Chain A
Amino acid sequence: MSVLPDRVDPAGDAYQANRAALLAQLAAHDEQLTIVNLGGGEKYVERHRMRGKLLARERIEALLDQDSPFLEFSPLAAYGSQFPVGAGAVGGIGLVEGVECLITANDPTQRGGASNPYTLRKGLRAAEIARENRLPVISLTESGGADLPTQSEIFIPGGQSFRNITNASAAGIPQVSIVFGNSTAGGAYVPGMSDYVVMIKERSKVFLGGPPLVKMATGEDSDDESLGGAEMHARISGLADYFAVDELDAIRLGRQVIKRINHRKRGPGPRGSGRAPKYDQEHLLGIPSADPKTPFDPRDVIARVVDDSDFDEFKPLYGASLVTGFAELHGYPVGILANHHGVLFSEESEKAAQFIQLANQIDTPLVFLQNTTGYMVGKEFEQRGIIKDGSKMINAVSNSKVPHLTINMAASYGAGNYGMCGRAFGPRFLFAWPNAKSAVMGPAQLAGVMSIVSRQSAESMGRPFDEEADAAMRTMIEDQIERESLAMFMSGKVYDDGIIDPRDTRTVLGICLSVLDNQPIEGTRGYGVFRM
């Protein structure tokens, strides 16, 4: 038992400044969430309600066990794009009849629930989460199909969505589809591929071609109900397994299905007490520095995230810019890697590689707390083999088989993003704090590098160097890189699973650990060749 000390001074100037900056960032994030929750806007929400229908999030709330947590992922998908923020779909993980399920819902108030490229990205990520964590999937379907102007970006890759459903089914993960409205043409294959299908009287509409198309194709006169109504599918075609009288009845039936799927978690389960941290999680707001150039001690974060603030540090005297150690979180054992001074040297890289191997040996999930500017550059470090050592770390991360969870606490630059298990390295979940930034390098450095390169080029060609134009270019590049490195931009691209309030870090990691516990946890026993 090594209880971390409480070193946060909430009265201090730095704390107050950090907190103010973070609250402003949270407010900006909340503003976007408000827009997301308004769906297609008041007019369309009103019209939807007038039809006696529940909103996407209301359907999810009704489906969930009362008062249980719900972790929504990528709520800001499509932020910064031409598409409405939220991407017209809701996805998340919540409890249904005590079973952790992956729930997706189209938002029919947003362009009829049509899929755009971001909707697809979000949907594919949802399927990935379900597959990796063996979560039953419940699709609350009501979609007009593909957003036609961007169909070229959706149609070909979108086929994956349907393949995913049946692949998951083949892997023994039940797929439930509750059809609340339109699910036509390609959309008809969502219920079509699902294991259990609930349709709603006079609401569900599932057909390959609607009356106009049928008229054009065969000359046959038809109507919605006979082509694809719930009654027809329940009694005649057999596509509907359950016939619901209304939306709430459909949700009741969906819950009933989950109750009977005999779901068992296959992980080892929590081991420890799950005792709350000793220190106020509220203080997490004042820990990350308002000025990204000022490092902060991740132990102050760990002390507010792990059970009982109890953290057994590994190799504390070696490679001190990276903190490693073991703890429990909501009772689940974890190994934690957290950047301290931002930069990774050879020692830190080797320490990380060793620690990741140890976690694999003992089947313990890893949590990466990112605040890194990347691997150290410079003659001395290159000569001492920073590339080889950094590669060892990336090798260890890449081939590690225990589940990884990543939180970007402030910065994730350069290859540090790779070594600290960035998105491309397949963490089961990746969340960012609202102050987090991710880019190949810092905006000023990047602009500076480009300036030096163009100055050298001008010199070598004997051209005069336009200082004024260079300054303007630097500013422009800096602005663009800064904007594109911000948490909301990254989240809009679905490069993370969402931005979280730092005060929710423990809860989010706890939910993730519980979710990944649906799979057996087994580390790798073999690694790629380590370059020595």
Chain B
Amino acid sequence: MTEIRSVLVANRGEIARRIMRTCREHAIATVAVFSDADADAPFVREADRAVRLPGNASADTYLRGDLIIAAALRSGAQAIHPGYGFLSENAAFAQQVVNAGLVWIGPPASAIAAMGSKIHAKQLMRSHGVPVAPDNTVESLADIGLPSLVKASAGGGGRGMRIVRSADELADAIASAEREALSAFGDATVFVERYLEGARHVEIQVLADSHGNVIALHERDCTLQRRHQKVLEEAPSPAVDGDLRVRMEAAAVAAACAVGYEGAGTVEFLLDCDGGFWFLEMNTRLQVEHPVTEAVTGVDLVALQLSIAQGHAIPGPLLVEVPLRGHAIEVRLCAEDPFRGYLPSSGIFHKFEFPEVPGVRVDSAIESGDVVPQYYDSMIAKVIAHGATRSEAVRRLVAALDGATLHGPTTNRSLLLQLLCELGEVDGPAGPGVDTGWLDRQQLGDGPSPGSTIVAAAALALVRARAVEGGFPIGWRNNPSQPHSQALSLHGAVHTVHYRFDRRGELDVLVVDGESIELDVFTRDAIDRVAIAIIDDTVYAAGGRFAFDVPARFLSPDDAGRAGSTVAPMPGRVVQLLVAVGDTVVAGQGLLTIEAMKMEHLVVSPHAGSVTEIFVQTGQQLDGGQPLLRVDPS
């Protein structure tokens, strides 16, 4: 038995903070490692010690096992907790940690290796009687049939995955998946398996100790996904009854036993429409969505990981029975705009606050004033609500998200709220239910649009901010010939508010986007109640649900000239230029690809025309909004 007094957390963001929280509760010292972009991040501030990993790219920092082990040794940490992602499922690293005389808070390297290659894991499961879907290691591509799924063997979290629906897409899908897999995991191996349409994603949390105990902590349903990235997770699954739970838990325990598992892990299954379930993969680490299990079982999984790593057995009561109390739902709050192709966003959150709601837990990467760097995953927080019933959990989660003040980059909050509101109906007892492709099939539209009240409140806040205390009445005229106006832009759409104040400073005339607003007590009250914050040239309205830009009052001719340019939708790096000056393009044609937040994004032409200028080159680092090239309409 090794007593752990100090743990190095080889991760960043919310999971680093979450692990350190449990460490603190157990009087275990914490060591953070951080990239340059994360130097001021909360997980660095909150650690007892912090070691810099020079650079920003994951490959230079959080994937540098050698630097991390050196940091652990120098800082006196006895153990390394890898969190999820990065090196968490890197068997070689796990072995190096152990070789360096440190405790690896995770399963043995052999177990990781066995599951790390998805190709081999499936073979192993097959041999242990765990149901697996057919793939190209046992069958020909033709026999697998379509649709099929290209997967990174070393992958996780949906990265490097591509669905293929026609044979001619396959080569491209493999190439692109390989590229992404190499960049994300350092291993380009991919495989192709049958894509089970209409299936749900249900996973079983398992826990194994060095004393031979293996238990299942029930399931989590993670069916709401966007391109294989989980969006909302809940426990228990609305699609799993007691009998199915028992069978799935048994399969999961069998899977863990097959690899001699130790610590916390997750066995993922696809649950098809007929109640059949298929082994997908085993995640040999703590999962992003572990808090929903913690909520319904009442355990602290990180504490159990620490305990098991120190050689302790799983506590007796858990061996007898794992509780399942109420219902818990987690949503992943990401700095991205689901209504604009999930464009990642980055930058500072001037305010990042959630209201106190009973049963709600927020695991966040940032606090007010912190920055979301452009280099890593877009998830900035997990919001988890626990309630006696599913609907209570939904209500609490909605209250937390709705009441949150998020003044910063665009987030997917509105989509999460929309999903939560639809959840009871779509995925309720009477609803059609969901599958892992459900969200991808939804037409998200343009997202919520601000009503006239919010637009007016935002504009009037700007006006009032310009007013001088004790000065002359706002916009005073002895001969008022016309109302004044304030423009705001939201995702490129310009809203114009015309207004006039009377000599007492009372709003007298209000016209929003051409619609005259009657100023009765209700309208005035509604406008006054919209929370507004003006930060630099952005007006955050309604807790940051809408972030209006304030257009410059006058466009200089240079701006006017470049107004026809296509601009970088986000900060990132130019991967490939697909056109050259003089090329004729059609609307929607790809112009270049940008890599940002580890994802590749295609920038398309807004209209048909010809490319007249290209302002960037391959490999160039871009700021959001930077002009890329110019397509003159034909």
Contact = CB atoms under 8 A, between A and B. Distances in A.
Interface in B427-478: 463, 466-467, 470, 472-478
A276 interface: yes
B99 interface: no
A57 B472 contact: no
Interface string A245-289: 100110110010000000000000000011110000110000000
Interface string A3-29: 000000000000000000000000000
Given A58-B482, A61-B484, A503-B503, A70 B477 contact: yes
Nearest to A252: B554
Contact of A69 (B475, B553, B557): B475
B477 A69 contact: yes
A273 B469 CA distance: 11
A510 B479 contact: no
A232 interface: no
Interface string B526-560: 00000000000000000000000000011111001
Nearest to A508: B478
B503 to A, nearest CB: 6
Contacts of A245: 557, 560
B38 to A, nearest CB: 40
A409 B470 CA distance: 25
Nearest to A72: B479
Contacts of B476: 69-70, 504, 507
Interface in B478-497: 478-479, 481-482, 484, 486
A285 to B, nearest CB: 12
A34 to B, nearest CB: 9
B472 A510 contact: yes
Contacts of A248: 554-555
A90 to B, nearest CB: 9
A422 interface: no
Contact of A501 (B463, B478, B555, B560): B478
A251 B554 contact: yes
B478 A72 contact: yes
Contacts of A67: 463, 466-467, 474-475, 484
B479 A36 contact: yes
A68 B468 CA distance: 9
A66 B554 contact: no
A473 interface: no
Contact of B481 (A57, A69, A498, A508): A57
A252 B556 contact: yes
Contact of B470 (A249, A276, A507): A276
Contacts of B560: 245
A433 to B, nearest CB: 12
Contacts of B554: 248-249, 251-252, 255
B482 A507 contact: no
Nearest to B472: A69
B557 A249 contact: yes
B473 to A, nearest CB: 6
Nearest to B501: A67
A255 B503 CA distance: 27
Contacts of B467: 67
Contacts of B503: 281, 501, 503-504, 507
A282 B553 CA distance: 35
A70 B478 CA distance: 7
B481 A37 contact: yes
Nearest to A57: B481
Contacts of B479: 33, 36-37, 72, 75
Contacts of A33: 479
A68 B475 contact: yes
Interface in A333-391: none
Most buried by A among B463, B466, B470, B479: B479
B478 A504 contact: yes
A198 interface: no
B553 A66 contact: yes
A72 B503 CA distance: 16
A304 to B, nearest CB: 12
A71 interface: yes
A36 B477 CA distance: 14
B481 A507 contact: no
Nearest to A73: B478
A405 interface: no
B557 A500 contact: no
A507 B557 contact: no
A511 interface: yes
A68 B472 CA distance: 8
A501 B479 CA distance: 10
Nearest to B499: A67
A498 B478 contact: yes
Interface string A489-532: 00000000010110110011011000000000000000000000
Most buried by B among A70, A248, A500: A70
Nearest to B465: A67
Contacts of A66: 463, 466, 475, 484, 486, 553
12 contacts: A36-B479, A57-B481, A58-B482, A66-B486, A66-B553, A69-B472, A70-B477, A248-B554, A248-B555, A249-B555, A330-B472, A510-B472
Q: Which 8 A-B pairs rank lowest in CB-CB distance, beginning with the nearest?
A: A252-B554, A69-B476, A69-B472, A57-B481, A37-B481, A67-B475, A72-B479, A274-B470
Given A68-B475, A504-B476, 13 more contacts: A33-B479, A66-B486, A67-B484, A68-B472, A69-B475, A70-B476, A72-B478, A75-B479, A249-B556, A252-B554, A255-B554, A281-B503, A511-B472
